[in-house]
């Protein structure tokens, strides 16, 4: 979906900054830190760091963005596949360098009957270990 359509569907004002942030996230194969996202934004404009944080916060509040934290207290951001995407996919986090990688395979989840009387809003599965570059 085009960034403009996403923003309109969310009821957010369409701005160049919001469109650019969504576009960068859509074109990334892995979650990005705020700094990585800033580096990938078009170079023809001066980007305000606080504005980008605010956009990320808005998108997460609207439940179209997921944040994943590494062991170094670094937050990575990625777009969800859909609003109903509670689980999405799992992540690998290197305990040495903090690198994060997506696992596209779905991990089996507990059967709903086992978790009655509890409305789940999100499921985050993170595998922590040492990546091949740090071993």
Query: How many CA within 13 A on the CB side of residue 27?
Result: 13
∠ CA(48), CA(74), CA(78), 5° rounding?
Answer: 70
In the prediction, which pLDDT does 85 show? 53
Are 32 and 40 in contact, with CB atoms under 8 Å apart?
Answer: yes
Segments in the chain below pLDDT 70 = 71-72, 82-89, 106-114, 122
Q: What are the residue boundaries of the structural domains of the chain, listed by start?
A: 3-129
What per-residue string of b and e applies to 100-114 under the rule 16 or more CB within 10 Å gives b? bebeeeeeeeeeeee
In the prediction, which pLDDT does 41 show? 96
pTM: 0.73
Residue 127's alpha-carbon distances to 52, 95, 98, 99, 114, in angstroms, are: 28, 10, 12, 12, 23
| Residue of 78, 79, 101, 83 whose CA lies nearest to 91 | 101
In the prediction, which pLDDT does 84 show? 44
Phi, psi angles (nearest 5°) of residue 26? -65, -35
- At 49 the three-state DSSP class reads helix
∠ CA(47), CA(32), CA(29), 5° rounding?
Answer: 120
pLDDT in tens, 22-33: 999 999 988 899
Provide the CATH number for the domain formed by 3-129 in this structure.
1.10.10.10
16: exposed, middle or buried (C-beta count within 10 Å: 0-12, 13-18, 19+)?
exposed
């Amino acid at each position: 979906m085009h960034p403009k359509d996403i923003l309109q569907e969310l009821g957010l004002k369409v701005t160049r900054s919001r469109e650019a942030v969504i576009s960068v996230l859509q074109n990334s194969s892995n979650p990005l830190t705020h700094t990585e996202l800033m580096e990938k934004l078009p170079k023809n404009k001066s980007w305000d760091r606080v504005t980008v944080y605010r956009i990320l916060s808005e998108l997460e509040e609207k439940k179209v963005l997921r944040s994943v934290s590494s062991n170094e207290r670094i937050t990575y951001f990625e777009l969800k596949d859909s609003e109903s995407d509670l689980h999405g996919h799992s992540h690998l986090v290197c305990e040495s360098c903090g690198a994060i990688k997506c696992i596209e395979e779905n991990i089996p989840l507990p059967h709903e009957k086992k978790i009655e009387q509890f409305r789940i809003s999100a499921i985050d599965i993170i595998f922590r270990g040492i990546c091949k570059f740090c071993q």
